[in-house]
Each structure stands twice: as structure tokens, then as C-alpha cells.
Structure 1
């Protein structure tokens, strides 16, 4: 976190205020994350990032604005996070939905398959319907992920502000970047087509289940990190 001291003039008097500015994505508050992804005017964005009134930002000199703008360099430098900034979503008639835990801990593998498929599809063809499905499958009730509930919540997710949904999509993308670096053998750097990507997760699931079809639902609930560790182990064994 960057500690900032801002000096400005008001009524011919010099005043100062001490505040902070995030140095990486993980230090941002939900309000700052939404502001950065929704692209407001420069004064509004700086006010939110510095957590100070907009009227003070408007009193800053061009040199001060330029120096503060340099603090946004972390956007290019730090392109991954391990947790969601928006940990909850309040949905009318659906209550409060929760994001996955940091590092996607305890996230069911089948939930990841759905979410990642929607995310990759939205990256190629950014349709609002796909974005709503992504968020609906990503955020779950306190009781945990359930496909029937996720499908039922899609219509309710459509009523949320699109900028909020896009912020969530970006947040997942940053977490996905963290995951790919943690499991490089599972996510090789060379990219495949969307079709092969989608089918690959289904192939992974089928390989894990094998002939044990009666316990298919149990395998779907296996934490995604456990699946990635399993895949990594099998790849290493295959290279020996």
C-alpha cells in the first residue's frame, strides 16, 4: 500500500491530507475495484482510489495529478490476485450470494468447469447472456454451489448493473491468471481453441470418473485444487 500525503490550497490557505493508494489488485476495496473497472471520469476515479472527497482532487495541480496517475502502473505490473474483491452479491428474492473462497479453496471441480467455460466463451464473444451465466454460476448461496439454483438465478443476475458483472468477470480473470501460474502443467502457456478448451475439461472429468459412473456426482464435488494437483501428478508421472 502506498502512503500518500496530499497538499492543496483552499481559500488561500495550504492544507494537507494523508491517505493511501493501492499498490496491487489485492489491496483494493470493492468500491475501488468497481471504480477502476467501470471507468468513471479521472477526478472521480482518483477520489475513490485515494478515498478522499472529489472536491479535493479538483484542487490538485496538473503535476500532482500526473504523479498520482503513475501509481496506476500496478495494473500492468500486477496482473493476478488470489481472491475476489466482491465477496458477496445481494440479489432481490435470492438473498445474499457468496463468491468462492480465496485461491478457489473448496470450489467444486464441476462448478469450475462451468465457470471457466462461460469465462472463455465471454472472452471470445462478449454476450451479456454469457456474462450473466458466468456470475450466476460463480456466486452461490451459503449452502454451496448447486446447478439448479445457479440456473434459477440467471434471470435475477440480469437485473444487476452490467459494470458490476464486468468487474466480477475481470476479477475471475485475475484469479485465473494466479491459478495458471500455480499449476503450469495444467495450464500450458500455448493457447488452444475455445472448442478444444471446453472439451478438455469434460475429458478431464471423464478420465477422473472412469467406469465409476454411479459415483459421478461425488467426483463432481471434488475440490478443484485437488483435481489440479491430481492432474499435475499424472503429467509428471507420464514424463518419467
Structure 2
């Protein structure tokens, strides 16, 4: 069983990326992250980004691509990810108006299946990244999340499991990792607590409610390829937060993942 690599979802550094993309990526590489998952390209060309990643020996995991771009610019998005060297084409969420009922979800499943088949033909893997709302509605006898993976094929649609949101939705994270064993190439490693209003408050790794050590052990057994650190909102400056999360990973002395 191979070791997992550790990457960073660049949404965490969205403000820094907008100001200084090159300097931000240099900082990420220097901290020891092996790869990055993009959430926008900030006006840079694919070749510009590829050249910088190659210089930094930083891998492109792939990108988060919204539903609008999937429908309006699918080939362009595929080409961009392939040029930067990515492997994963991930839908990060869906608009509320498209997921109000079971019929809406069924339409989404058809889109995901078709998109997954097309990106697969071109050498990429389609994934879907969850939040908590997929566990708020039933499609048939299942949560919308589970119905998605029952409706689509394993080859076309894989799981980018965000364990923070699964636990926030009051589901058992370890059960879900085991349930989708072999279908989870990407896992968002996140920690959280709840604020005074009961809303999600994301934290640096090791500071919240998620049993991350158990998650990491379960992930390697499930065949996860990438542990991807993400923090939706940071209490410290974001560059400091990603450093603290990396330090936590280093402190675990785990033999299940690779750090540079």
C-alpha cells in the first residue's frame, strides 16, 4: 500500500494568490507541501503556472471547476488542467437552486456522469467535493451524497471527501472512508469547531473536533492518494495557518504520508 502525498487547497490562500501568485506558491513549496489544488488561476496562463510549478518541484493535483464552467467551458478547463500537469477535475459544490429537491439532484448526477466520462477520455479523473448539504436531503432512500455515487459509475465519478463537512453533518467520518474505499483518491484534511451560533469554524489541524490521526490511518487503508490541507477561514494569517498545519503533520511522525 503506497504512502499518501500531502497537498494544499489554494482556496485557503485565495487573497494571497490574488496579490502575489508566484510568491505564494514559493512559500507553499518551501513549507514542504508536495502539491497544490487550484481554485482559480488569477489571470495567469496555464503555461506560466506550469513553468513555475516545475521550477518549484510542486505538483498540480488538479483544480476545482464550478458548474457554470463545466457547462460553458469544459474543453478549456480540461486543457488548462492537462497543461499545468494536473490529474483531477473536481466540482467543488453546486448552487442552491440546483439542489433543492430530488429531481434537481438527479439532473446533477447526469451532468457529473457525462462530465466524468468526457474528462476520463482525455486522461483526467472527475471528482465531486462535498459540503454538509448533501446530507440534508434524501434522494430515494439515501442521502443525496450516497445517491450520487450509486447513480454514477465508479470509473466516471470519484470522491473528494471533505471529512470536516461530513462530521459537521453529524455523520461518522470513518464509516464514510470505509464505505467508499477505493473510490476516494483525494481527501480534504480539515479541522473545525462550532461557533456560538453553531456554524462551522475551520481551524488549523489538530485544534478541533476531527480525530485526524484516525482519519489519516483510515485514508491510507482506503487507497487515498492525496491528503489535501484546507482551511476555509483562518484565525491567524493564512500563510501562518498553513505552516502550523504542516507542523502538526510533521509532529505525527506518520509513516503513511510523504513530506518533502
Bigger RCO (CA 8 Å, 6+ sep): 2
The TM-score range, normalised by the shorter chain, is under 0.3
Normalised to the residue count of structure 1, the TM-score between the two structures is: 0.25
Normalised to the residue count of structure 2, the TM-score between the two structures is: 0.24
Work out which of the two has the higher radius of gyration on C-alpha atoms and give 1 or 2. 1
Larger strand proportion, structure 1 or 2?
2
